[in-house]
Amino acid sequence: MIGEPLVLGIETSCDETGAGIVRGRELLANEVASSMDQHARFGGVVPEVASRAHLEAMVPVLEGAFAKAGVRPADIDAVAVTAGPGLAGTLMVGVAAAKAYAYGLGKPLYGVNHLAAHVAVDQLEHGALPSPCVALLVSGGHSSLLLVRDVTGSVEPLGATIDDAAGEAYDKVARVLGMPFPGGPPIDKAAASGDAAAIRFPRAKYHDGTLDFSFAGLKTAVARWVEAKRDAGEPVPVADVAASFQEAVADVLTRKAIEACRRRDVPDLVIGGGVAANSRLRALAERRCELAGIRLRVPRPGLCTDNGAMVAALGADIVASGRPPSSLGLPADSSLPVTEVLVR
């Protein structure tokens, strides 16, 4: 290997088939195929349907990434793949593909943690992560605050949701409002023309002194409020509900993230995961971080939702750290803990 490692990253933890190629912290390709259209009518991802879609999309997506990057498979230095957490069946498709490429090309294989990859991806846009930094990780399956000393190996959980993930709350509230799945983007869009102060939805655990979250009560409160309107035969002010719900989520997330920075005396916050694409969360985090003297980093929306570049970015960092690769017997682990960045 000459210079920065050229790494292929494969992502299949949910419904996005992602293949990314990076050279060190330089993004060369980020191809994503989504099977979301096939799940939309079920209101959630159907694991077996997603697994089959990954099988069909895998080779075209990989070939697309190589073409875009202008590199040949034989040129890469390593293959990184999401080993977990995620859906067991979908993870297996990506892990099998990664093993095939690694074995066929005679390159090392790195099975990496999806959550750490959501944090590592920011380096493709903003350079090396400060050490330590606090990470707010908000996706469809997770909402966590992490103390990241080294994204390739030292990640300490500071707090997490005790029930629904933030993205899950978006998806469920969208369903109540008759919006398509996944709910984040349509709620974000509807909220743009709504009044965030129209309805005061609850902010659970706001003053509880922990760094944990809870979104199940908020989701229920929104559903009850909407039901009451419908029962009364009144029109539901969808934009106001979306904006007020979004405000409650962004308020709690940013408050606790800043509290985590304060408690650990860490002046750098990075936000990652699909919900980090949310416009209100980004704007409020920016304002509150500025007031608190905290430097904020959030990747552009296209890098926040699941993709292969994030896996390649973490893989490149791990290669550079000199850690030994995974074995070809690498398992997929659907409940991989956030502390396990690299699976052997």
**What residues make contact with ligand KG4 under the rule CB under 6 A?**
14, 139-141, 167, 170-171, 182-185, 188, 273-275, 277-278, 305-306
In the complex with ligand KG4, the residue whose CB is nearer, 113 or 326, is 113
d(CA 236, CA 240): 9
In the complex with ligand KG4, the residue whose CB is nearer, 308 or 325, is 308
CA 227, 228, 229, 231 torsion: positive or negative?
A: positive
- Least separation in angstroms between residue 24's CB and ligand KG4 is 24
Chain residues 122-141 in contact with Zn ion, contact rule CB under 5 A: 139
How many separate helices (H) and strands (E) can be counted in the chain? 12, 11
First to last CA, the chain: 22
Instruction: Using CB under 5 A, count the residues that bind Zn ion.
Output: 2
- Least separation in angstroms between residue 84's CB and Zn ion is 11
- Least separation in angstroms between residue 307's CB and ligand KG4 is 8
Q: Which amino acid type is present at position 318?
A: I
Does position 168 interact with Zn ion (CB under 5 A)? The reply is no
d(CA 64, CA 321): 28
41: exposed, middle or buried (Cβ count in 10 Å: 0-12, 13-18, 19+): exposed
Residue 85 touches which of Zn ion, ligand KG4, none (Cβ within 5-8 Å per kind): none
Residue 299 touches which of ligand KG4, Zn ion, none (Cβ within 5-8 Å per kind): none
- Least separation in angstroms between residue 108's CB and Zn ion is 24
Residue 111 touches which of ligand KG4, Zn ion, none (Cβ within 5-8 Å per kind): none
- Least separation in angstroms between residue 112's CB and ligand KG4 is 14
Q: What separation in angstroms does the CA of 334 have from each of 13, 39, 76, 105, 141?
A: 8, 20, 27, 27, 11
In the complex with ligand KG4, the residue whose CB is nearer, 80 or 266, is 80
Reading the block at residue 276, the tokens are: 């980090």
Which residues, listed in sequence order, are joined to residue 128 by a DSSP beta bridge? none
Residue 326 touches which of Zn ion, ligand KG4, none (Cβ within 5-8 Å per kind): none
Q: Are the beta carbons of 178 and 226 closer than 8 angstroms?
A: no
> Strand, helix or coil at 281?
helix
Q: What are phi and psi of 81, to 5 degrees?
A: -145, 150
d(CA 275, CA 183): 10
d(CA 221, CA 212): 19
Residue 184 touches which of ligand KG4, Zn ion, none (Cβ within 5-8 Å per kind): ligand KG4
- Least separation in angstroms between residue 238's CB and ligand KG4 is 16
Chain residues 265-324 in contact with Zn ion, contact rule CB under 5 A: 306
d(CA 238, CA 223): 12
Which candidate, 90, 140, 95, 147, places its Cα nearest to that of 116? 147
- Least separation in angstroms between residue 140's CB and Zn ion is 7
Residue span 176-205 as binding mask against Zn ion, x where in contact by CB under 5 A, dash where not: ------------------------------
Residue 275 touches which of ligand KG4, Zn ion, none (Cβ within 5-8 Å per kind): ligand KG4
Residue 34 touches which of Zn ion, ligand KG4, none (Cβ within 5-8 Å per kind): none
> Strand, helix or coil at 58?
helix
Residue 12 touches which of Zn ion, ligand KG4, none (Cβ within 5-8 Å per kind): none
Q: Are the beta carbons of 281 and 106 closer than 8 angstroms?
A: no
In the complex with Zn ion, the residue whose CB is nearer, 239 or 304, is 304
In the complex with ligand KG4, the residue whose CB is nearer, 159 or 184, is 184
The DSSP call for residue 203 is: -
Q: Which residue is nearest to Zn ion (CB)?
A: 139
Residue 188 touches which of Zn ion, ligand KG4, none (Cβ within 5-8 Å per kind): ligand KG4
Between helix 216-231 and helix 238-264 the angle, nearest 10°, is 160
Please report, as ranges, the residues that interact with Zn ion according to CB under 5 A: 139, 306
